Amino acid sequence: MNKVVKNANEAIKGMQDGQTFMLGGFGLSGIPENTIKALVESGLNDLTCISNNAGVDDFGLGLLLKKHQIKKMISSYVGENKEFERQLLSGELEVDLIPQGTLAERLRAGGAGIPAFYVPAGYGTEVGEGKESREFNGKMHLLEFALTADFAVVKAWKGDTMGNLIYRETANNFNQAMATAGKITIAEVEILVPAGELNPNEIHTPGIYVQRIFQGVNYEKRIEFETVTE
Amino acid sequence: MSLDKNGIAKRIAQELKDGYYVNLGIGIPTLVANYVPENIEVVLQSENGLLGIGPFPKKGEADPDLINAGKQTVTTIPGSSFFDSSLSFAMIRGGHVDLTVLGAFEVTDKGDISSWKIPGKMVKGMGGAMDLVAAAKNIIVATTHTDRNGEPKLKTKCDLPLTGINCVKTIVTDLAVIEVTDKGFKLLERAPGVSVEEIVEKTGAPLIVEGDIPEMKL
Protein backbone atom coordinates (compact mmCIF):
# COMPACT_ATOMS: atom_id res chain seq x y z
CA MET A 1 0.00 0.00 0.00
CA ASN A 2 1.91 3.02 -1.27
CA LYS A 3 0.56 6.45 -0.27
CA VAL A 4 3.44 8.52 -1.53
CA VAL A 5 2.72 11.58 -3.64
CA LYS A 6 5.33 13.69 -5.36
CA ASN A 7 5.03 16.97 -3.48
CA ALA A 8 2.72 19.41 -1.72
CA ASN A 9 0.98 20.48 -4.93
CA GLU A 10 0.02 16.91 -5.69
CA ALA A 11 -0.96 16.34 -2.06
CA ILE A 12 -3.60 19.12 -2.06
CA LYS A 13 -5.16 17.96 -5.34
CA GLY A 14 -8.94 17.97 -5.10
CA MET A 15 -9.11 20.56 -2.39
CA GLN A 16 -11.78 23.14 -3.23
CA ASP A 17 -12.84 26.66 -2.35
CA GLY A 18 -15.02 26.77 0.73
CA GLN A 19 -13.71 23.56 2.25
CA THR A 20 -12.54 22.99 5.80
CA PHE A 21 -8.98 21.97 6.54
CA MET A 22 -7.03 21.46 9.74
CA LEU A 23 -3.38 22.25 10.11
CA GLY A 24 -1.01 20.86 12.73
CA GLY A 25 1.52 22.84 14.71
CA PHE A 26 1.89 24.88 17.87
CA GLY A 27 3.12 28.36 17.11
CA LEU A 28 5.60 27.73 14.31
CA SER A 29 6.72 24.37 15.70
CA GLY A 30 5.63 21.34 13.72
CA ILE A 31 3.77 23.21 10.98
CA PRO A 32 3.49 21.70 7.48
CA GLU A 33 5.56 24.36 5.73
CA ASN A 34 5.48 22.82 2.27
CA THR A 35 1.72 22.39 2.17
CA ILE A 36 1.11 25.92 3.47
CA LYS A 37 3.24 27.24 0.64
CA ALA A 38 1.29 25.16 -1.88
CA LEU A 39 -2.01 26.42 -0.45
CA VAL A 40 -0.86 30.03 -0.77
CA GLU A 41 0.14 29.40 -4.39
CA SER A 42 -3.09 27.52 -5.13
CA GLY A 43 -5.18 30.65 -4.59
CA LEU A 44 -7.91 28.56 -2.92
CA ASN A 45 -10.44 30.77 -1.16
CA ASP A 46 -13.18 30.91 1.47
CA LEU A 47 -11.43 28.25 3.48
CA THR A 48 -12.27 27.34 7.04
CA CYS A 49 -9.11 26.53 8.92
CA ILE A 50 -8.78 24.63 12.20
CA SER A 51 -5.42 25.35 13.77
CA ASN A 52 -4.33 26.11 17.32
CA ASN A 53 -2.51 29.26 16.22
CA ALA A 54 -2.26 31.20 12.98
CA GLY A 55 1.48 31.49 12.51
CA VAL A 56 3.10 34.90 12.48
CA ASP A 57 2.52 37.78 10.08
CA ASP A 58 5.00 36.62 7.47
CA PHE A 59 5.30 32.88 8.05
CA GLY A 60 3.11 29.83 8.47
CA LEU A 61 -0.64 30.34 8.35
CA GLY A 62 -0.07 34.09 8.49
CA LEU A 63 0.72 33.89 4.77
CA LEU A 64 -2.77 32.54 3.99
CA LEU A 65 -4.42 35.15 6.22
CA LYS A 66 -2.54 37.94 4.54
CA LYS A 67 -3.95 36.87 1.17
CA HIS A 68 -7.46 36.64 2.67
CA GLN A 69 -7.82 33.02 1.58
CA ILE A 70 -9.29 32.11 4.94
CA LYS A 71 -12.90 32.93 5.74
CA LYS A 72 -13.02 31.41 9.18
CA MET A 73 -10.46 30.35 11.77
CA ILE A 74 -11.09 27.88 14.57
CA SER A 75 -8.25 28.38 17.04
CA SER A 76 -7.35 28.80 20.68
CA TYR A 77 -4.67 31.45 20.55
CA VAL A 78 -4.17 34.59 18.51
CA GLY A 79 -1.11 35.63 20.45
CA GLU A 80 1.43 37.65 18.61
CA ASN A 81 -0.06 37.55 15.12
CA LYS A 82 -0.99 41.20 14.50
CA GLU A 83 -2.74 40.56 11.17
CA PHE A 84 -4.87 37.80 12.73
CA GLU A 85 -5.84 40.11 15.60
CA ARG A 86 -6.56 42.97 13.18
CA GLN A 87 -8.81 40.84 10.93
CA LEU A 88 -10.57 39.46 14.01
CA LEU A 89 -11.25 42.86 15.59
CA SER A 90 -12.34 44.42 12.27
CA GLY A 91 -14.69 41.52 11.58
CA GLU A 92 -13.04 40.66 8.23
CA LEU A 93 -12.35 37.20 9.53
CA GLU A 94 -14.80 34.94 11.29
CA VAL A 95 -13.07 33.49 14.34
CA ASP A 96 -14.19 30.75 16.68
CA LEU A 97 -11.91 30.82 19.71
CA ILE A 98 -12.10 27.69 21.83
CA PRO A 99 -10.12 26.44 24.80
CA GLN A 100 -6.99 24.60 23.70
CA GLY A 101 -7.73 21.35 25.51
CA THR A 102 -11.29 21.35 24.21
CA LEU A 103 -9.93 21.88 20.70
CA ALA A 104 -7.53 18.95 21.08
CA GLU A 105 -10.25 16.69 22.46
CA ARG A 106 -12.74 17.70 19.74
CA LEU A 107 -10.16 16.60 17.18
CA ARG A 108 -9.44 13.37 19.00
CA ALA A 109 -13.18 12.69 19.27
CA GLY A 110 -13.60 13.48 15.57
CA GLY A 111 -11.11 10.79 14.66
CA ALA A 112 -12.41 8.35 17.24
CA GLY A 113 -16.08 8.39 16.25
CA ILE A 114 -17.24 10.07 19.45
CA PRO A 115 -19.80 12.70 18.39
CA ALA A 116 -19.79 14.76 21.59
CA PHE A 117 -18.48 14.84 25.15
CA TYR A 118 -18.56 16.96 28.32
CA VAL A 119 -15.69 19.07 29.67
CA PRO A 120 -15.53 21.68 32.44
CA ALA A 121 -13.44 24.21 30.47
CA GLY A 122 -15.30 27.40 29.64
CA TYR A 123 -18.31 26.85 31.88
CA GLY A 124 -19.54 30.22 33.18
CA THR A 125 -17.64 32.11 30.45
CA GLU A 126 -18.69 33.30 27.00
CA VAL A 127 -17.42 29.99 25.62
CA GLY A 128 -20.35 28.33 27.35
CA GLU A 129 -23.02 30.65 25.98
CA GLY A 130 -25.75 28.69 24.22
CA LYS A 131 -24.17 25.35 25.05
CA GLU A 132 -25.84 22.50 26.82
CA SER A 133 -24.45 22.09 30.33
CA ARG A 134 -24.71 19.35 32.89
CA GLU A 135 -23.45 18.62 36.38
CA PHE A 136 -21.20 15.64 37.04
CA ASN A 137 -19.69 14.96 40.47
CA GLY A 138 -20.77 18.38 41.71
CA LYS A 139 -19.09 20.24 38.89
CA MET A 140 -20.61 21.88 35.81
CA HIS A 141 -19.58 20.75 32.35
CA LEU A 142 -20.25 21.86 28.77
CA LEU A 143 -21.29 19.63 25.91
CA GLU A 144 -18.73 19.92 23.12
CA PHE A 145 -18.89 18.35 19.66
CA ALA A 146 -16.34 16.46 17.61
CA LEU A 147 -14.44 18.20 14.81
CA THR A 148 -13.53 16.70 11.46
CA ALA A 149 -12.40 18.29 8.21
CA ASP A 150 -12.26 17.68 4.47
CA PHE A 151 -8.47 17.71 4.74
CA ALA A 152 -6.10 17.35 7.67
CA VAL A 153 -2.57 18.52 6.97
CA VAL A 154 0.07 17.33 9.40
CA LYS A 155 3.83 17.49 9.69
CA ALA A 156 5.86 14.60 11.07
CA TRP A 157 9.55 13.97 11.51
CA LYS A 158 9.69 10.54 9.90
CA GLY A 159 7.19 8.66 7.83
CA ASP A 160 7.09 5.58 5.66
CA THR A 161 5.46 4.74 2.35
CA MET A 162 2.46 3.22 4.17
CA GLY A 163 1.78 6.47 6.00
CA ASN A 164 3.08 5.52 9.44
CA LEU A 165 4.33 8.62 11.26
CA ILE A 166 6.76 9.53 14.03
CA TYR A 167 6.79 13.06 15.43
CA ARG A 168 9.76 14.73 17.07
CA GLU A 169 9.79 16.37 20.52
CA THR A 170 7.13 19.07 20.98
CA ALA A 171 6.59 19.29 17.22
CA ASN A 172 3.97 16.57 17.72
CA ASN A 173 1.43 18.87 19.42
CA PHE A 174 -1.83 18.97 17.40
CA ASN A 175 -0.52 16.87 14.53
CA GLN A 176 -1.29 13.50 16.08
CA ALA A 177 -4.95 14.23 16.87
CA MET A 178 -5.52 16.01 13.56
CA ALA A 179 -4.08 13.12 11.57
CA THR A 180 -7.02 11.04 12.79
CA ALA A 181 -9.71 13.64 12.02
CA GLY A 182 -9.33 14.39 8.31
CA LYS A 183 -11.46 12.77 5.62
CA ILE A 184 -8.22 12.99 3.66
CA THR A 185 -5.07 13.31 5.75
CA ILE A 186 -1.96 14.69 4.13
CA ALA A 187 1.33 14.10 5.93
CA GLU A 188 4.51 15.88 5.03
CA VAL A 189 7.66 14.48 6.60
CA GLU A 190 11.30 15.43 6.87
CA ILE A 191 12.45 11.87 6.26
CA LEU A 192 10.47 9.40 4.14
CA VAL A 193 11.55 5.75 4.24
CA PRO A 194 10.28 2.49 2.73
CA ALA A 195 7.74 0.53 4.79
CA GLY A 196 9.56 -1.70 7.26
CA GLU A 197 12.30 0.73 8.16
CA LEU A 198 10.49 2.44 11.04
CA ASN A 199 10.37 0.64 14.36
CA PRO A 200 6.70 -0.31 14.92
CA ASN A 201 7.17 0.37 18.65
CA GLU A 202 7.88 4.01 17.95
CA ILE A 203 5.06 4.89 15.58
CA HIS A 204 2.72 7.62 16.86
CA THR A 205 0.25 7.68 13.98
CA PRO A 206 -0.54 4.34 12.32
CA GLY A 207 -0.74 4.54 8.54
CA ILE A 208 -4.47 3.81 8.45
CA TYR A 209 -5.11 7.49 9.17
CA VAL A 210 -2.92 8.84 6.37
CA GLN A 211 -4.00 8.98 2.71
CA ARG A 212 -1.16 10.97 1.16
CA ILE A 213 2.44 11.35 2.24
CA PHE A 214 5.45 13.14 0.82
CA GLN A 215 8.91 14.21 1.82
CA GLY A 216 9.03 17.98 2.28
CA VAL A 217 11.87 20.18 1.10
CA ASN A 218 13.69 23.30 2.32
CA TYR A 219 12.35 23.33 5.88
CA GLU A 220 12.98 26.71 7.44
CA LYS A 221 11.75 25.67 10.91
CA ARG A 222 11.63 29.23 12.08
CA ILE A 223 11.86 29.86 15.83
CA GLU A 224 9.35 32.33 17.25
CA PHE A 225 11.19 33.23 20.45
CA GLU A 226 14.77 32.06 20.62
CA THR A 227 15.61 32.04 24.30
CA VAL A 228 19.07 30.93 25.41
CA THR A 229 21.21 30.89 28.51
CA GLU A 230 24.61 32.55 28.31
CA MET B 1 8.36 48.21 49.19
CA SER B 2 6.37 46.42 46.53
CA LEU B 3 7.92 43.35 44.92
CA ASP B 4 9.18 43.19 41.36
CA LYS B 5 8.28 40.32 39.02
CA ASN B 6 11.07 38.17 40.37
CA GLY B 7 9.96 38.82 43.93
CA ILE B 8 6.46 37.60 43.10
CA ALA B 9 7.91 34.51 41.43
CA LYS B 10 10.16 33.87 44.43
CA ARG B 11 7.22 33.99 46.83
CA ILE B 12 5.15 31.65 44.67
CA ALA B 13 8.04 29.18 44.51
CA GLN B 14 7.61 28.72 48.28
CA GLU B 15 4.23 27.13 47.55
CA LEU B 16 5.85 24.28 45.61
CA LYS B 17 6.00 20.91 47.29
CA ASP B 18 8.26 17.96 46.64
CA GLY B 19 6.82 15.72 43.94
CA TYR B 20 4.54 18.33 42.42
CA TYR B 21 3.72 18.42 38.73
CA VAL B 22 3.27 22.10 37.91
CA ASN B 23 2.04 24.09 34.93
CA LEU B 24 3.43 27.61 34.71
CA GLY B 25 1.73 30.18 32.49
CA ILE B 26 3.34 32.85 30.34
CA GLY B 27 4.92 35.92 31.98
CA ILE B 28 5.64 36.13 35.72
CA PRO B 29 4.63 32.46 36.28
CA THR B 30 7.44 31.29 33.98
CA LEU B 31 9.94 32.98 36.34
CA VAL B 32 8.84 30.70 39.20
CA ALA B 33 11.00 27.98 37.63
CA ASN B 34 14.10 30.01 38.56
CA TYR B 35 13.33 29.80 42.29
CA VAL B 36 12.41 26.16 42.91
CA PRO B 37 13.88 25.34 46.36
CA GLU B 38 16.94 23.13 46.06
CA ASN B 39 15.74 20.46 48.45
CA ILE B 40 12.61 19.58 46.49
CA GLU B 41 11.88 18.08 43.09
CA VAL B 42 9.10 19.40 40.88
CA VAL B 43 8.33 18.53 37.27
CA LEU B 44 7.10 21.31 35.01
CA GLN B 45 4.37 20.56 32.48
CA SER B 46 4.12 22.44 29.21
CA GLU B 47 0.71 22.04 27.61
CA ASN B 48 2.13 21.83 24.09
CA GLY B 49 3.37 18.36 25.01
CA LEU B 50 6.29 18.21 27.42
CA LEU B 51 6.71 16.98 30.98
CA GLY B 52 10.03 17.97 32.47
CA ILE B 53 10.91 21.39 31.09
CA GLY B 54 14.63 22.06 31.32
CA PRO B 55 16.47 25.39 31.25
CA PHE B 56 16.79 27.51 28.12
CA PRO B 57 19.32 26.01 25.69
CA LYS B 58 22.87 27.25 25.34
CA LYS B 59 23.50 29.72 22.54
CA GLY B 60 23.61 27.90 19.21
CA GLU B 61 21.78 24.84 20.58
CA ALA B 62 18.18 26.04 20.29
CA ASP B 63 15.96 23.39 18.67
CA PRO B 64 12.87 24.59 16.77
CA ASP B 65 11.12 21.31 17.60
CA LEU B 66 11.53 21.85 21.34
CA ILE B 67 9.56 24.78 22.74
CA ASN B 68 7.41 25.60 25.76
CA ALA B 69 3.82 26.84 25.67
CA GLY B 70 5.14 30.40 25.44
CA LYS B 71 6.88 29.29 22.22
CA GLN B 72 10.29 29.85 23.76
CA THR B 73 13.07 27.39 23.01
CA VAL B 74 13.73 25.09 25.99
CA THR B 75 15.53 21.84 26.79
CA THR B 76 14.58 18.57 28.48
CA ILE B 77 15.75 17.13 31.80
CA PRO B 78 16.60 13.50 32.61
CA GLY B 79 13.18 11.82 32.75
CA SER B 80 11.35 14.18 30.39
CA SER B 81 8.61 12.91 28.11
CA PHE B 82 6.81 14.17 25.00
CA PHE B 83 3.17 13.65 24.08
CA ASP B 84 0.48 15.12 21.87
CA SER B 85 -1.91 17.97 22.73
CA SER B 86 -4.92 15.76 23.46
CA LEU B 87 -2.98 13.66 25.98
CA SER B 88 -1.49 16.81 27.45
CA PHE B 89 -4.92 18.21 28.22
CA ALA B 90 -6.18 14.82 29.29
CA MET B 91 -3.58 14.90 32.07
CA ILE B 92 -4.62 18.45 32.94
CA ARG B 93 -8.35 17.74 32.81
CA GLY B 94 -7.87 14.46 34.61
CA GLY B 95 -6.48 16.27 37.64
CA HIS B 96 -2.95 14.89 37.38
CA VAL B 97 -1.32 18.32 37.47
CA ASP B 98 -0.96 19.47 41.09
CA LEU B 99 -0.60 23.20 40.64
CA THR B 100 -1.24 25.83 37.99
CA VAL B 101 0.26 29.31 38.16
CA LEU B 102 -1.06 31.90 35.74
CA GLY B 103 -1.39 35.63 35.18
CA ALA B 104 -4.65 37.60 35.14
CA PHE B 105 -6.25 40.90 34.15
CA GLU B 106 -8.73 40.63 37.05
CA VAL B 107 -9.55 38.24 39.90
CA THR B 108 -12.64 38.34 42.08
CA ASP B 109 -13.27 37.50 45.73
CA LYS B 110 -15.27 34.49 44.45
CA GLY B 111 -12.22 33.15 42.64
CA ASP B 112 -13.35 34.20 39.15
CA ILE B 113 -10.63 35.20 36.72
CA SER B 114 -10.36 37.14 33.45
CA SER B 115 -7.20 36.91 31.41
CA TRP B 116 -7.70 36.53 27.67
CA LYS B 117 -9.56 39.34 25.98
CA ILE B 118 -10.24 43.08 26.14
CA PRO B 119 -13.29 43.55 23.90
CA GLY B 120 -12.67 45.81 20.93
CA LYS B 121 -9.03 46.31 21.84
CA MET B 122 -7.11 43.14 22.28
CA VAL B 123 -7.71 39.45 21.83
CA LYS B 124 -4.98 37.07 22.83
CA GLY B 125 -7.20 34.03 22.91
CA MET B 126 -7.64 31.77 25.88
CA GLY B 127 -5.08 29.19 24.78
CA GLY B 128 -5.00 26.54 27.48
CA ALA B 129 -5.97 28.85 30.34
CA MET B 130 -9.66 27.89 30.44
CA ASP B 131 -8.82 24.19 30.50
CA LEU B 132 -6.24 24.72 33.22
CA VAL B 133 -8.40 26.83 35.54
CA ALA B 134 -11.40 24.53 35.12
CA ALA B 135 -9.44 21.43 36.04
CA ALA B 136 -6.41 22.19 38.19
CA LYS B 137 -6.56 21.17 41.84
CA ASN B 138 -4.80 24.32 42.97
CA ILE B 139 -4.55 27.63 41.15
CA ILE B 140 -2.29 30.51 42.08
CA VAL B 141 -2.59 33.80 40.25
CA ALA B 142 0.56 35.88 39.82
CA THR B 143 -0.20 39.52 39.12
CA THR B 144 0.45 43.10 40.04
CA HIS B 145 -2.03 44.36 42.62
CA THR B 146 -3.21 47.22 40.38
CA ASP B 147 -3.19 47.82 36.63
CA ARG B 148 -1.18 50.39 34.69
CA ASN B 149 -3.63 53.12 35.68
CA GLY B 150 -3.52 52.21 39.34
CA GLU B 151 -6.95 50.54 39.27
CA PRO B 152 -7.43 47.44 41.44
CA LYS B 153 -7.14 44.08 39.67
CA LEU B 154 -8.66 42.32 42.69
CA LYS B 155 -12.39 43.08 42.58
CA THR B 156 -15.88 41.86 43.39
CA LYS B 157 -16.74 41.31 39.73
CA CYS B 158 -14.73 40.87 36.53
CA ASP B 159 -15.50 43.56 33.95
CA LEU B 160 -13.61 41.70 31.23
CA PRO B 161 -14.64 38.35 29.68
CA LEU B 162 -14.13 35.50 32.12
CA THR B 163 -11.59 32.71 31.81
CA GLY B 164 -13.16 30.66 34.60
CA ILE B 165 -15.31 30.93 37.70
CA ASN B 166 -14.81 29.88 41.33
CA CYS B 167 -11.37 28.54 40.64
CA VAL B 168 -8.58 30.76 41.97
CA LYS B 169 -7.35 29.71 45.42
CA THR B 170 -4.43 32.05 46.08
CA ILE B 171 -3.21 35.37 44.66
CA VAL B 172 0.36 36.56 44.98
CA THR B 173 0.86 40.19 44.01
CA ASP B 174 3.62 42.75 44.34
CA LEU B 175 1.99 43.82 47.62
CA ALA B 176 0.43 40.77 49.25
CA VAL B 177 -0.47 37.11 49.48
CA ILE B 178 -4.24 36.76 49.48
CA GLU B 179 -6.35 33.66 49.89
CA VAL B 180 -9.75 33.33 48.23
CA THR B 181 -12.03 31.95 50.95
CA ASP B 182 -15.76 31.20 51.08
CA LYS B 183 -16.13 34.60 52.75
CA GLY B 184 -14.00 36.48 50.22
CA PHE B 185 -10.41 37.76 50.05
CA LYS B 186 -8.31 37.10 53.14
CA LEU B 187 -4.97 38.83 53.62
CA LEU B 188 -2.26 36.33 54.57
CA GLU B 189 1.01 38.18 54.09
CA ARG B 190 2.24 41.58 53.01
CA ALA B 191 5.32 42.49 50.98
CA PRO B 192 8.22 43.78 53.12
CA GLY B 193 7.54 47.35 54.19
CA VAL B 194 4.03 47.49 52.69
CA SER B 195 1.28 48.46 55.14
CA VAL B 196 -2.04 46.69 55.58
CA GLU B 197 -3.73 50.06 54.92
CA GLU B 198 -2.08 50.35 51.50
CA ILE B 199 -3.18 46.83 50.57
CA VAL B 200 -6.76 47.46 51.70
CA GLU B 201 -6.83 50.73 49.77
CA LYS B 202 -5.58 49.12 46.55
CA THR B 203 -7.91 46.12 46.71
CA GLY B 204 -11.25 46.60 44.96
CA ALA B 205 -13.18 44.24 47.25
CA PRO B 206 -13.57 43.73 50.99
CA LEU B 207 -10.47 42.22 52.55
CA ILE B 208 -10.56 40.05 55.66
CA VAL B 209 -7.70 41.10 57.94
CA GLU B 210 -7.28 39.01 61.08
CA GLY B 211 -4.64 39.87 63.66
CA ASP B 212 -1.11 40.86 62.77
CA ILE B 213 -0.30 40.27 59.13
CA PRO B 214 3.25 38.97 58.76
CA GLU B 215 5.67 40.16 56.11
CA MET B 216 6.61 37.72 53.35
CA LYS B 217 9.92 35.97 53.93
CA LEU B 218 11.87 36.06 50.69
Question: Dihedral of CA A197/A203/A209/A210: which sign?
Answer: negative
Q: Give the pLDDT score at B166.
A: 96
Residues A70, A67: Cα–Cα separation, whole Å: 8
Residue A121 lies in a domain: no
Contact between B204 and B151 under an 8 Å Cβ cutoff? The reply is yes
Q: Residue A100's CB: how many other CB atoms inside 10 A?
A: 31
Residues B60, B48: Cα–Cα separation, whole Å: 23
Which residues numbered 176-205 in B keep a CB inside 8 Å of some CB on A? Answer: none
The boundaries of the domain holding residue A182 are 8-116+147-215
Q: Give the pLDDT score at A215.
A: 98
Q: Give the pLDDT score at B27.
A: 87
Chain B residues within 8 A of A122 when measuring between CB atoms:
126, 130, 134, 164
Quote the number of domains for chain A: 1
In the predicted model, what is the mean pLDDT of chain A? 96
Indicate whether A21 pLDDT > 90: yes
For the segment A37-78, what is each residue's pLDDT rounded down to a tens digit?
Answer: 999 999 999 999 999 999 898 999 999 999 999 999 999 998
Chain A residues within 8 A of B83 when measuring between CB atoms:
172
What count of Cα atoms within 13 Å lies in the side-chain half-sphere of residue B94? 9
First to last CA, chain A: 50
Task: Name the residue of chain A whose CA is nearest to B115's CA.
Answer: A125
B84 near A CB under 8 A: yes
SS3 category, A209: helix
Evaluate whether ipTM surpasses 0.90: yes
What count of Cα atoms within 13 Å lies in the side-chain half-sphere of residue A181? 29
Residue A228 lies in a domain: no
Beta strand B184-190 with B43-46 is: unpaired
Residue A137 lies in a domain: no
A26 near B CB under 8 A: yes
A2 near B CB under 8 A: no
Q: What's the CATH number where A32 sits? A: 3.40.1080.10
User: Which ranges of chain B have pLDDT less than 70?
Assistant: none
Would the pTM of this model clear 0.90, i.e. be above it?
yes
Which domains are delineated in chain B?
A: 5-208 (3.40.1080.10)
